[in-house]
Amino acid sequence: MPGTFYVTTPIYYPNDKPHIGHAYTTIMADVLARWHYLLGDDVFFLTGTDEHGLKLQRAAEKAGKDPKTFVDEMASFFKKYWSLLNIGYSRFIRTTDEDHVETVKRALTKIYKKGLIYKGVYRGWYCTSCEKFYGEGEYLEKDGQKFCPIHLKPLEWVEEETYFLKLSLYTEKILKLLETKDIIYPREYAREIISKLRREGLKDLSITRPKSRVYWGVEAPWDPNHTIYVWVDALLNYLTGIGWGRDEETFWKYWRSAHHIIGKDILWFHSAIWFSLLDMLDLPPPKKVIVHGFILVRGVKMSKTIGNVVRIEDLVNEYGNVDAVRYLLMRFSTLEKDMDYNPEQFRQAYNAELADTLGNLVRRVGVLAKRKAGGIVERPNSLDQELERKAKETLEKAKKLVDEVKLGEALVTIFDLLREANAYLNRTEPWKAENPAPILYNALEAIRIASIMLYPFMPATMERLANALGFKIESFDKACFGCWEKYQVKEAPILFPKLR
Ligand code: ME8
């Protein structure tokens, strides 16, 4: 049954351009959005930029620009990269958008009125790159100095007046929620949060900064001398994006099917803190928080702050094709484990899978259809049953795997169908046959059905392929073997030239 599907990425800090780590999450969200579109769901896909806070204030100062000019420029970079990667988002949200600033004020006013915010003094060690305080036992120590465990940069001592959110009231409630409901996926990640909650509980959270230090933020509605902590501001984007407080109908339609995709670095914020905030706002938690591991470079997390990034444009240039990059990043993606970026492995998969298995099959069938059937291939009276069975089985298996967000395994499964189609051609030798059209039809059906499944991963290439072979990609309903009546093959494209 078609339903709704709301999918989000984290909103990224635009202190620098995005790299393949950000592309990884964003492509994953795009694949899921497009997959659900093919399932017939009403899809809303939200991504954007997290533009307030000390980190951005400093980045702008360093660039010698006022923060708004700076984030305007940087947000446009993100949009350019997402357009290059063919990311079909429904909205690109910026935390400086007017409706979002309103959401933040509305949400915090509601929480303030409930008596869940009080004034105090905060003392602690802060990492501006994480926009996060680190408590004892959480930071690294060397020669008496304290360092951020993620960015390996010295922490700053902060002691100032702040407003606290009474998060400590929520430990039991959130624990129960995580123990009884499968929201965090894969489950392994939930266990980490559960044990941290059992060990330490939730502590009241400092949710404002004095404006004198952090002026670049949303003003606290009850005190003009404070700005709202960037993480609270940022999390609320998921509500703004679908109209919370402005268009209740749209909001509820999508919120019930909310899927947040995030890297494991920000799971604490997207579970313990986010679920508490939602509860304070009388809202249910999201349906799922899908967590993935890091892309590593020689064992170290790829990060702008560390400076070991692989740039999106470098990969696109290397393969000369955006869809190859989308494919390769998803092909080796795993939720549970980190993925060590391995250029050699990428190259091998490109040649063996995209150029050979897919590319050669398309080329062979296209050329034969043109040469031996004048480009017209109609449905014969009987179909190849083995290939038909394989196509059906592949679709079922791929649907299950994508549902479990095992995107790499789904791609391997889809490519099994293409390998089977290649073997079928080798077996039936249509180039020798007097009437090769029935054989070609079976092979074309396998290609068409694989193309529908591959469309979310490589949309532009699959559209190009459908055009060349004379079929359409519409929905999974049409992915039945024998459902296409007549192919009009225009050309036999070389989709992925082999790399030497
Ligand atoms: O955390 N491997 O923004 P951010 C895999 N603004 N994914 C990676 C990655 C890597 N090496 N590097 C980055 C923030 N990512 C906040 C989010 S949301 C309300 C606010 C991806 O720019 C991954 O999805 O630091 C990670 O969680 C996110 O980028 C962090 O992006």
pLDDT tens per residue, range 93-152: 999 999 999 999 999 999 999 999 999 998 999 999 888 889 888 899 999 899 999 888
In a domain, 473, yes or no: yes
Q: Whose CA is nearest to atom 22 of ligand 1?
A: 12
In a domain, 476, yes or no: yes
CATH number at residue 372: 1.10.730.10
Res 244: pLDDT: 98
Q: Whose CA is nearest to atom 10 of ligand 1?
A: 21
Kindly list the catalytic residues. Answer: 19, 22, 127, 130, 148, 151, 301, 304
Please identify, by atom number, the ligand 1 atom nearest to the C-alpha of residue 301.
Answer: 11
Asked whether 280 and 169 are in contact (CB, 8 A), the reply is no
Tell me the mean pLDDT in the region 250-270.
98
In a domain, 415, yes or no: yes
Distance of CA 24 from the midpoint of ligand 1 (Å): 10
Please tell me the total count of domains within the chain: 1
Q: What's the pTM value of the predicted model, to 2 decimals?
A: 0.96
Res 51: pLDDT: 98
Task: Note the maximum CA span of the chain.
Answer: 87
Q: Is 234 in the pocket of ligand 1 (CB under 6 A)?
A: yes
Res 456: pLDDT: 98
Asked whether 69 and 47 are in contact (CB, 8 A), the reply is no
In a domain, 421, yes or no: yes
Tell me the mean pLDDT in the region 217-238.
98
In a domain, 276, yes or no: no
Tell me the mean pLDDT in the region 205-234.
97
Q: Whose CA is nearest to atom 29 of ligand 1?
A: 22
Asked whether 121 and 85 are in contact (CB, 8 A), the reply is no
In a domain, 136, yes or no: no
For residue 311, give the nearest of 12, 15, 20 by alpha carbon: 20
Tell me the mean pLDDT in the region 416-445.
97
Q: Is 22 in the pocket of ligand 1 (CB under 6 A)?
A: yes
Residues 6+ apart with CB under 8 A from 288: 183, 184, 185, 258, 259, 260
Please identify, by atom number, the ligand 1 atom nearest to the C-alpha of residue 302.
Answer: 11
Distance of CA 168 from the midpoint of ligand 1 (Å): 26
Distance of CA 226 to the CA centre of its chain: 33
At 106, the amino acid letter reads R
Residues 6+ apart with CB under 8 A from 157: 123, 124, 125, 126
Element (H, E) at 433: none
Q: Whose CA is nearest to atom 12 of ligand 1?
A: 21
Indicate the top mutation candidate among 8, 12, 20, 153 to test ligand 1's pocket, ranked by most ligand atoms within 8 A of CB.
Answer: 12
Tell me the mean pLDDT in the region 278-290.
98
**What is the share, in percent, of the chain residues with pLDDT greater than 70?**
100
For residue 124, give the nearest of 229, 211, 40 by alpha carbon: 229
Res 296: pLDDT: 95
Distance of CA 21 from the midpoint of ligand 1 (Å): 7
Strands of the 219-220 sheet, one edge to the other: 208-210, 223-228, 219-220
Asked whether 447 and 361 are in contact (CB, 8 A), the reply is yes
Q: Please state, in angstroms and rounded to a whole number, the distance separating the CA atoms of residues 281 and 100.
A: 16
Q: Please state, in angstroms and rounded to a whole number, the distance separating the CA atoms of residues 89 and 50.
A: 16
Q: Is 12 in the pocket of ligand 1 (CB under 6 A)?
A: yes
Asked whether 440 and 382 are in contact (CB, 8 A), the reply is no
Q: Which domain holds residue 371?
A: 342-488
Residue 500 binned pLDDT confidence (cut-offs 50, 70, 90): confident
Indicate the top mutation candidate among 13, 22, 329 to test ligand 1's pocket, ranked by most ligand atoms within 8 A of CB.
Answer: 22
Q: Whose CA is nearest to atom 3 of ligand 1?
A: 12
Distance of CA 262 from the midpoint of ligand 1 (Å): 7
What Å distances lie between residue 264 and 25, 186, 190, 354, 487, CA to CA? 11, 11, 11, 30, 46
Q: Is 50 in the pocket of ligand 1 (CB under 6 A)?
A: yes
In a domain, 457, yes or no: yes
Tell me the mean pLDDT in the region 81-100.
98
Q: Whose CA is nearest to atom 27 of ligand 1?
A: 263
Indicate the top mutation candidate among 27, 50, 290 to test ligand 1's pocket, ranked by most ligand atoms within 8 A of CB.
Answer: 50
The answer, yes or no, to whether residue 1 has pLDDT greater than 80, is no
In a domain, 410, yes or no: yes
Res 306: pLDDT: 80
Residues 6+ apart with CB under 8 A from 3: 41, 42, 257
Asked whether 291 and 189 are in contact (CB, 8 A), the reply is yes
For the record, the structure tokens of 479 come out as: 């992915």
Q: Whose CA is nearest to atom 7 of ligand 1?
A: 21
Asked whether 333 and 339 are in contact (CB, 8 A), the reply is yes
Mean pLDDT, rounded, of the chain: 96
Q: What is the DSSP letter of 168?
A: G
Condensed to tens digits (0 to 9), the pLDDT of residues 205-219 reads 999 999 999 999 999
Res 176: pLDDT: 97
Res 131: pLDDT: 87
